[in-house]
Structure 1
Amino acid sequence: MLKTIRAKYKYYIFDSVDKVNLKKCPAMKYIVLTLYILFIVCVSSLSKSINIPKDFKDIQEAIDKADLGDIIIISDGEYKKDIMINKSIELCGSGQEKTALMGSIVVQNAGPVIIESLTIKGDKGNNAHFGIYCSRAFLTIKNIKIFGYHHGIGSESSKLIIKDSFITENFQVGVQVENSLTTFIEENDINTNTGSGIRISSSENNITITGNIIRKNSIGIEIIGSSPRIRRNAIENNQVAIFSTQESNPDIGIDDDPGLNVFISNPVVIINMTRRLTIQAKGNYWGDSNGPNNSAIEGKIDYIPWLKSNPLKTQSVCQYGKLSVCWGNLKGSSMSQKNSF
């Protein structure tokens, strides 16, 4: 139990530890860790499981009556309900294929909150703006399928983790992050959204986009006044793979930390609208052993050196949940130097 809860809250506590100035107060880190251990012991002894519909028929009623740290387990079935979460709980379905919610989830002024193992679905007649939306919260989303909303997931002024999820067929943006405190978008399949797969705005630091499949969106990753770190993604069949504007300075790969991203079948790979900044995009595969062609990039982009070979060429296109196989080949690929474009 202690190990499980430790995993749930690791991002929260270690983010606090990282902000400690060890030069001024080296003992503070140990004080924070001690408090964390005490917190874990307290939570593990007090949390309980609440079952839907056994204990409560209504999900919102279960949330309202839950204590901090409780786990609400939703049984198989389809539930038509909008949900508001304003306390630290875990909302857990029985799996994407078994538990479906038709409605929106709003997480506000709360955390840590975990939502996992269910499908959240809208439709053309659904007026909900977001499938999941969080504001001033700390939210972890795991093993979720979201489709049929204006925006799949939205976050404002929050700490957000999205992992192992399937975000598809939303009418505008798959994942929208604004004024982020910390965001990790890891190992998801984000595809077939009418607008951008991911949109990051007004978020300067602590944004990591890694190990995702981002495909068949108008724009794969849209960056507005932000500086995300982008690594090991398969960005395929978007009209534009990455669009960067308004003084954005994304890190798509540097000399000692190559991007290892794969760009395949995107008519335009990177557009940099900030003329005074050069985007670092080293160590990526551009769909050709010769690197990007003239029409693939716009603006100042430093892409030398690049990956020379396609890690997906000798195997089927990487499927959701199997990225680690692809990246093993990618890391072993040779890199090419080119003096001028």
Structure 2
Amino acid sequence: MNLSKNVLTLFLFLCLCSAIVVKSNEALVNAGPSTLIVGSDNYKTIQEAINNASSGDTIFVRKGIYTENIVINKSITLIGEDRESTIIDGGATGNVISIKASNVTIKGFTIKKSDPSIGCGIFIERSGNIISNNSILNNYAGIQITFSSANQIYENIISANYVGIQLFYSSGNAIYRNVISSNTDGIDAYYSVGNIFYENTINNNNLGVYLSSSSNNVFYHNNFVDNKYYNAYTEQAANTWYYKGEGNYWDDYDGKDLDKDGIGNTPYVITGKNTDYYPLMGRYYTFAVHFKEDYRIAIVSNSTISNFTFKVAAESRSRIILFNASSTNGSAGFSRVVIPKALMENIHMVLVNEEEVNATLLNVSDVENAYLYIEYSGNCSIKVVYLELLDLYYQLLDEFHGLNATNNALVKEFNSLNETLHNLLKNYGELQNCLENLNSMLAALNKTLHNFLNDYGDFQKEFSDMSMSYQKEVQNFKSLTYIFAAVTAVFIMITIYLSKIAHEKQRRIIES
């Protein structure tokens, strides 16, 4: 009985351990990034949510004013509900946000009121961070990047700061599509190399860009407008002010565009070793478009571009780009529109104020985009139209022409083969005649051979008779030869004998 109780107790203990292990494993499997919410009945402050977050978590901040000085020391995503009404106020002390970790994302906030003498709206001292879609204002430095790389700063409005964006000893950062306006300095960089600045609007600052001991930075497709003292000033270190044959727009550039491609024909000299060799003749605009995937359409124009829209008309299977272009005093205007060919394979129609015009499709080396140069005067609406059905019609027409050409080639080839067959049949008749002649000759040869074989039999018989006769004659000849030899021997012996007798007689006569 006691043994049974012990066994039962051991069994229950093992089941309990198994349950604990399974539960622990389930918790481990289900662990993952979480979303923490700030505002209402959730976390009261952003810092409290950060302190309770883990790396990889997202913190969503509801609308409201949060008077805080935030320190981010883990890799998280911080998202505001609405950029204009989700406000982080630094209370004029320290930095509003200090980033002390890599791979942090901040977007959707108004960030303002750091210490006015040394504080930053966002202070970054790590790499790989993303700052986007924020309004950053009333700080000493809107964004300061120190000893960091691979950060992305894009689509922010940075205004009313002493310095909009400031870099110290930083490299490999990308700063693009920001509006940097109404600051004392728009962008300052000290001892920073290899950063890229593009598609920013830098306007109404005292100084647009200031570079000190900073080299090999790249600037292109930026708009420098109404900066009070300098659009850009750099101490003698060399930087690049263009990319792939296109530079920046400078409101004080007075060059000409004789070939009408949206790029000035003479360089814009900044200072010393810094020259924009391909200055733009108008402001650079860029617009995001989604059609099956994401695209960007760029416009360089000396007009003010507004109300940009991309439409798809399903019933006509057409795609349309629409925008307004405003010029002052009815002056001549141009817009150079860069359209991805994957979005619009061809340009079938350009309308200015609903009237079709002849726009110029520029011959450029870019195989992925079409460059369309449109001229007009005064204020106007512009439409660029791609008709997929018309493209399909032309494609089918091209295929028809191709098939027709193939058919003509096949007919020509058939006629050639037919002629070849006729010649072959003609040659076959001639060959057949030759074969008949050969057969006749072969029959004659067979007859001649038959006769020859018969004659050869008679000849062989005669030859045999002659051979036998010859053998007999040879035998007779041999016999005669033997007889002749015997007679000759007798004759010689008689002659010798008679000679000897004669000689003996003569000797006797001499002796007597």
Q: TM-score, normalised on structure 1?
A: 0.67
Tell me: CA distance 1:87–1:210, structure 2 relative to 1, closer, same or farther (3 Å): same
**What does the per-residue CA deviation read over 1:199-256, in whole Å, with 9 as the maximum and x for residues that have no partner?**
1221222x110111000112211112222111111111112111111x52211026xx
Q: Which amino acid aligns with 2:199?
A: G
Q: Please name the residue that 1:151 is paired with.
A: 141
Mapped partners of 1:114, 1:83: distance in 2: 14
Mapped partners of 2:173, 2:118: distance in 1: 23
Q: Answer yes or no: is 1:315 the counterpart of 2:304.
A: yes
- Pair member with larger Rg: 2
- Listed as ranges, the matches of 1:87-126 within 5 Å are 87-103=74-90, 104-108=96-100, 110-122=101-113
User: Cα offset for 1:137?
Assistant: 3.7
Q: Answer yes or no: is 1:203 the counterpart of 2:176.
A: no
Q: Find 2:66's aligned residue among 76, 79, 92.
A: 79
- Listed as ranges, the matches of 1:35-54 within 5 Å are 46-53=32-39, 54=41
Q: Is the 8 A contact 2:148 2:170 kept in 1?
A: yes
User: Cα offset for 1:184?
Assistant: 0.7
Q: Is the 8 A contact 2:266 2:277 kept in 1?
A: no
What secondary structure does 1:60 align onto? helix
Mapped partners of 1:173, 1:284: distance in 2: 31
What secondary structure does 1:63 align onto? helix
Tell me: CA distance 1:300–1:183, structure 2 relative to 1, closer, same or farther (3 Å): closer
Mapped partners of 1:327, 1:184: distance in 2: 25
User: Cα offset for 1:180?
Assistant: 1.3
5+ long unaligned stretches in structure 2: 1-27, 91-95, 255-260, 284-299, 309-322, 324-334, 340-370, 375-512
Mapped partners of 1:166, 1:140: distance in 2: 15
Q: Name the one with the larger helix percent.
A: 2
Q: Is the 8 A contact 2:97 2:122 kept in 1?
A: yes
Q: Percent identity?
A: 25
Mapped partners of 2:110, 2:173: distance in 1: 22
Q: Answer yes or no: is 1:242 the counterpart of 2:258.
A: no
- Listed as ranges, the matches of 1:125-204 within 5 Å are 129-159=119-149, 160-170=151-161, 172-194=162-184, 196-204=185-193
User: Cα offset for 1:138?
Assistant: 2.9
Mapped partners of 1:176, 1:65: distance in 2: 31
Tell me: CA distance 1:68–1:225, structure 2 relative to 1, closer, same or farther (3 Å): same
Mapped partners of 1:164, 1:314: distance in 2: 22
Q: Is the 8 A contact 1:154 1:175 kept in 2?
A: yes
Q: Is the 8 A contact 1:261 1:284 kept in 2?
A: no
User: Cα offset for 1:135?
Assistant: 1.0
What secondary structure does 2:50 align onto? helix
**What does the per-residue CA deviation read over 1:269-299, in whole Å, with 9 as the maximum and x for residues that have no partner?**
xxxxxxxxxxxxxx9967xx7665xxx7443
**What does the per-residue CA deviation read over 1:172-196, in whole Å, with 9 as the maximum and x for residues that have no partner?**
21000111142111101000101x2
Q: Is the 8 A contact 1:168 1:193 kept in 2?
A: yes
Q: Answer yes or no: is 1:216 the counterpart of 2:165.
A: no
Q: Which amino acid aligns with 1:46?
A: G
Q: Is the 8 A contact 1:290 1:308 kept in 2?
A: no
Q: Which amino acid aligns with 1:219?
A: L
Q: Please name the residue that 1:278 is paired with.
A: none
Q: Is the 8 A contact 2:68 2:88 kept in 1?
A: yes
Mapped partners of 1:225, 1:284: distance in 2: 32
Mapped partners of 1:241, 1:161: distance in 2: 23
What secondary structure does 1:253 align onto? coil
Q: Is the 8 A contact 1:90 1:114 kept in 2?
A: yes
What secondary structure does 1:242 align onto? strand
Mapped partners of 2:197, 2:274: distance in 1: 19
Q: Please name the residue that 1:61 is paired with.
A: 48
Mapped partners of 1:303, 1:127: distance in 2: 34
Q: Is the 8 A contact 2:34 2:58 kept in 1?
A: yes
**Number of equivalences:** 260
Mapped partners of 2:174, 2:276: distance in 1: 24
Mapped partners of 2:190, 2:36: distance in 1: 37
Q: Answer yes or no: is 1:328 the counterpart of 2:337.
A: yes
What secondary structure does 1:182 align onto? coil
User: Cα offset for 1:128?
Assistant: 5.9
What secondary structure does 1:120 align onto? strand
**What does the per-residue CA deviation read over 1:108-154, in whole Å, with 9 as the maximum and x for residues that have no partner?**
1x11000100101218x856611100113432101000111111110
Higher RCO (C-alpha 8 Å, min separation 6): 1
Mapped partners of 1:101, 1:327: distance in 2: 40
